[in-house]
Structure formats: structure tokens, C-alpha cells
Amino acid sequence: MTWGVEALGVSFGRTVALEGVTLEVPAGQVTAVVGGDGAGKTTLLRVLAGLVLPNRGTARRPERERMGYLPARAGGFRDLTVAENLEFVTSVCRLANVGARAGDLLERTGLAPFRERLARDLSGGMRQKLGVIMALLPEPALLILDEPTTGIDPVSRADLWRLIALAAARGAGVVVSSAYLDEAERASWVLVLHEGRPLLAGPPTRVVSSLTGSVVELDTPTDRRRAWRRGPRWREWRPGGDPAGIAPALEDVVIVAALAAAERGTP
Amino acid sequence: MRAMVLKEFRQLRRDRRTLALMIMVPLLLLIVFGYVARFDIKQIPTAVVGAQAEMVAGLLPEPFDVRIVDSAGDRATGEDLLRRSRAIIAVVAEPPLTILVDGTELFAAQSARAANLVGGASGALPIPFELEVLFNPELSTAVVMVPSLIGMVLTAIGTVITSLGVVRERQEGTLEQLAVMPLRPRDVIIGKIAPYFLVGVLDMAVITAAGLLLFDVPFRGSWLVFAAAAFAFLLAVLGVGVLISTLSHTQGEAIQLAIMTMLPQIMLSGMIFPLTAMPWGVRWISYLLPLTYFVQIVRGVFLKATPFDALGVPFLALILLAVVVLGLAVLRFRRDLAPAGRRRATPAEAAS
């Protein structure tokens, strides 16, 4: 079963939040939605979760019993312990015999020693992991995670991505939003949003190879409007191509696409 | 420093609620204190009963506002009229002439005294009379205030705690988590309100017991009537709490709104300032507040053993307010939990 949205349009008053967005979330795969702040990632995920009604387009999602959703910055009920949070999900979703599975998920994420700790006393990363475990526990057919790794240390990020991969391996269609482009390279499919519109879409390797022109690496940029910093050096986009072009990363390709859109005057 | 002041002004200008709290509340207080805070009652609802009722009614000077004249009635009729709050003073016009005063209406009783009628042999009435203050013979303030304070304390606790509980869930993002879980909106709303309701009931029991024991407040009426009023009142209070939470983004906003709804309740409910002394320009607001009716009911039940059938109007109003407020709150809350399309959608292929 493929979940997703088609030809989506969402406006809040005069503000267009999403326009012409299509996204497929096939079972057993991780789909990443990336973009800067205000690109429309959260709105897209909320439409998919059924929390926002689109003005145009359709959304396909399973019934609620088979859907897991983690809103941005949420991670369990703060005044409940880790164990009580999982107990709540078990009870609400009427899950049977999930004790071992919950134990396994807690072990994998290093949360096992903190079962009796209140969610509010967990670190940011641990709370996010708890939130993901809560969304994963009912073995959802569609798992929607809104920026689960934002503000999280690299070790916890790696833990979270292992959980995400595990969910997909067990057959869930997973959609993850992120502001980090390096994370999108782990997904089977990536949708890059820019100001509410799709900028690029496809498997990460194909998106990378879709670059028009070349990206060169320099110590001093020649055209500031087409240059960005990468570590101690600069990278610059040459629309006409350049024999000195390097193999770009997904991040470079997304920046180039955004620059090209700005130069065309349309996002 | 200039930059700091400028920044603060800019922020303040955009924080409409704080601004409203800073400008509207002083204005409200001024209006309330100016027009409402009057303990001197110009007109005291008066009943005259007994064989010579017509004659005595004609003799009564200001501020006695004779509303009921019943020649066929007797002392028991007079007491009953006071018990049912149909009058504050009942004159039993048969020898010996007796004036009954409702001691739960402190300011009216004091106004009557000021009118040089009550409590002095040199009264305005040309014939000697006996005076009896019923229900609260010592005109004790605590006896009158404590039952109403139960309502005020519950308003404060119920409104603030409930609204904070819901807003925190929204702020943390966990309300959205709930919205996507296989729970019906009804489950979430009832599940959310029920614990606060039970805590409110417990709170009410504790405050009532403390009031009765510590301040020697009598309880003369029916516990059942009190329980019914408390039930309706608590629902209204929790409804206001939930409604506030649906209008607030942060806990700070919720507290501000709660204060804005509590101040008029305290000022205008008749708890402190008698409704009869308020001009109609302000008094109509009183009739929109749940606390107004709760105060009327508890004072009657605690102190005067007012029968249920005499409390029909405040009961009906309280229930109506509870239904309206709670209904509005649930509708708004429900909107957060389930956008229309979600309910329309067929489960397996939800196309919205």
C-alpha cells in the first residue's frame, strides 16, 4: 500500500503554505521531506496525519489504529514516566503482548535504564526517542515523524535513524521531515520543499545527478550571489558547467536549486 | 537604555492580552468601584403581611420598597417570603407589630438600620414594633461570605488549573499526538475533564467542611440541593477553563485570560456587593456569570434552608450557562482534535 498526498494545496488566510505538492510514501521505505524553516514540511505532514484539511488535493492514509505520528518537539507526556507513556499507548491502541517489543525498543535506544524516569526529566534526545518509540509501538502502516532529530546530539540522531530504518524494515511507510540535508541521503526518496512548493524530488542519488551546471570549490568566491561556505572553503555554482566541477553533495544540489529558482523569479 | 525601553514598548504593543489586562482591568475596576461598589441600598424589597398590611404598607418610608402586600398572610408567610428571597424585609402587620429582616443581606439590613427604622425605639413608624433578624441574628460577615467563597475559590482553582492542563498539552505538542491516536474526540475531552471534575468535587468538599467547622457557618438546607448546584457550577467552571485553553497558545496567556474572567465574577456576582445596589448598566453582566447564581443558591441553602422550588430561576440559569459554556468549549476543543475532513474520511482510503 502506498500512502501519500497528491496535488496538495493548503492556504492559511492569504498565506500559501503548500502548492502543487505530491508525495508518495511506499510501504517499507523511508521518505524524507527536507527544506528550510517555513518551507511547509510540518504542514505537509499534518495534512498526511489528517490534522489539517487541504484546500486542494487528496491525502491517502491508513485508519488511525495503523498510523504513528510524532509532532515536532513532542516526546511523550511529560508528567508520565517512560513506562507509563508506553502503557498509555498500549492501552489506547489496544495492543496485546507488546511487553517484549517495548523492552527491545527501549534497549536499542538506551532508554531501558530510565523506565521509571518522568518524561519531563529526560534529556531532549531521550524524549525524542521516547516519542518515536511511542509512535512505533503499534507497528503502524504509516509512520509520520516531524523533525525527530532537530536539536539532538549526533549519537541520539544515529539511534533515532536506526529506529526509523527498523520501522521501514518491518513494513511501515515512513515519512520523516528534517532540516538536515545529510539525513535525507539515508532515505529512499527525498522531497525538497522551498516556500511551500516542490523544488526537487526523487531518490537522493538521482537528485544529486540532476544538477544543472557544475559546482566548484574555491578559497575566494568569484560571484558571491552564487557562492556558499562549506567548511573553511567556498563552493560556487557555475550554471554553464565547469571542467573543474566537483562531485556535489545533496546539500549543494538543494542550494543550487534554490538559487536557480530565485534567479528565475519563481520558487 | 533607550533601546531597551523601545524594545519593551514594541513587544508590549504586540502582546495584546497584557495590554488589555493593563488597560481594561483598571478601567473595569474603576467602573465597578464607581458604580457597583455601593453598600448603601436605595431600595429594600419589602413584604407586608397580616390583617393590617394595607395600612402599614402606606406608612413605610424610603428606602422600603413595598413589593408584596398580603392581608391574608401571617408571620409564617413573612418568613417564607424571606426564605425564598422574594423580600429582604417582611413586616408582620398584626399586633404586636414585628419586622423580620433577612440577616443574610448584610447591607440591606444595615441600610434598614440607617433608615432609622430597625433597631431603634425612635423609629420612623408611629407604632412600637419588635425587630427580629432571621438566619444570621448577629449579622456576621463570615456566615454570609463563607458559602460564597466556596464558589469563588472553585472558580479560581477550576478555571486556572483546567485551562493550564489543556494548554500545556497543546504547547508540548502532545495534544496532536492524542488527536492522531485511535481515540474519539469525546474520549479525549471527557478523559481530560473528568479528573479535574473529581478534584473539583474533592476541593469543594474540603472547603465546605473547613468553612462549616472553622467559621461556624450553619447549614440549614438540603445537601442534595447543594450537591446539585455544585455539580452544575463545577461543569460551568471547567467549561470556562477549557474554553480559555482553546483561546490560548501558552500557559501565560491562559492565566491572563483566567484572571480576566475571574475579576468580574468576584466583583459582580453579588458575593461582595449586593446586586440590588448595582445600576442596570452593569448588573446585566452579573446575570451572565455562573458565580452569581451559585452565590444565590448556596446562601439560600446554607443559611435560609431555601426550598428547591424557590431556587428554580438560579438553578435553570446555572444549568443553562454550564451547558452553553461547556458546549462551546467542547466544540472548539473538538475542532482542534478532528478537522471536519477526518470525520468524513473513510477509514482505509481517507481522501481529504
SS3 string, chain A, reads CEEEEEEEEEEECCEEEEEEEEEEEECCCEEEEECCCCCCHHHHHHHHHCCCCCCEEEEECCCHHHEEEECCCCCCCCCCEHHHHHHHHHHHCCCCCCHHHHHHHHHHCCCHHHCCCEHHHCCHHHHHHHHHHHHHCCCCCEEEECCCCCCCCHHHHHHHHHHHHHHHHCCCEEEEEECCHHHHCCCCEEEEEECCEEEEEECHHHHHHCCCCEEEEECCCCCHHHEEEECCEEEEEECCCCCCCCCCCHHHHHHHHHHHHHHHCCC
Buried b (16+ CB within 10 A) or exposed e, B136-155: beebeeebbbbbbbbbbebb
Chain B hits for A47, Cβ within 8 Å: 352
Q: Which helix (H) or strand (E) element contains residue B277? A: none
Cell of A267: 520558487
Of B173, B339, B350, the CB nearest to A72: B173
- Give percent of chain A above pLDDT 90: 64
CA distance A44 to A54: 9
Q: Are strands B64-70 and A233-238 parallel, antiparallel or unpaired?
A: unpaired
Q: What is the CB-side half-sphere exposure of residue B191 using CA atoms within 13 A?
A: 11
Of B173, B182, B341, the CB nearest to A64: B182
Q: Is the domain covering A2-202 a CATH 3.30.70.20 domain?
A: no
Per-residue model confidence (pLDDT) at position B116: 55
Chain A hits for B176, Cβ within 8 Å: 46, 49, 51, 69, 71, 74
Per-residue model confidence (pLDDT) at position A207: 92
What distance lies between CA B333 and its chain's CA centroid? Answer: 25
Is the interface score ipTM higher than 0.85? no
pLDDT, one tens digit for every residue, chain B (352 residues)? 888 888 888 888 887 777 877 787 788 778 777 777 777 677 888 899 888 888 888 878 777 888 888 888 888 899 999 998 888 888 888 878 888 888 888 887 777 766 655 444 445 566 677 788 888 888 888 888 889 888 988 888 888 888 888 888 888 888 888 888 888 888 888 888 899 899 889 988 998 998 889 988 889 989 999 999 999 999 999 989 988 988 888 888 888 888 888 888 888 888 888 887 788 888 888 899 999 999 999 999 999 888 888 899 999 999 999 999 888 888 888 887 766 444 443 333 344 4
Domain residue ranges in chain A:
2-202, 204-264
Of A71, A74, A93, the CB nearest to B182: A93
Arithmetic mean of pLDDT, A55-81:
90
What's chain A's Rg over C-alpha atoms?
A: 20
Q: Give the residue with greater pLDDT, B27 vs A246.
A: A246
Per-residue model confidence (pLDDT) at position B132: 82
CA distance B94 to A76: 75
Q: Taking 90 as the threshold, does the pLDDT of residue A19 lie above it?
A: yes
Return the SS3 of B128.
coil
CB contact under 8 A, A77 and B174: yes
Chain A hits for B351, Cβ within 8 Å: 58-60
CA distance B183 to B316: 33
Q: Long-range contacts: B343-346, Cβ < 8 Å, 24+?
A: B345/A50
Residues A166/A229, Cβ–Cβ less than 8 Å: no
Cell of B89: 424585609
Closest CA to B352 of A198, A10, A250: A10
CB contact under 8 A, A50 and B180: yes
Domain residue ranges in chain B:
44-134, 141-339
Closest CA to B67 of B81, B46, B43: B46
Arithmetic mean of pLDDT, A122-138:
91
For residue A95, give the chain B residue with the closest CA. Answer: B182
CA distance A20 to A193: 11
Of A61, A71, A89, the CB nearest to B173: A71
Per-residue model confidence (pLDDT) at position B187: 84
Q: Which of B171, B177, B251, B343 to mutate to test the interface with A (most CBs of A within 10 A)?
A: B177
Q: Are strands A173-178 and A142-145 parallel, antiparallel or unpaired?
A: parallel
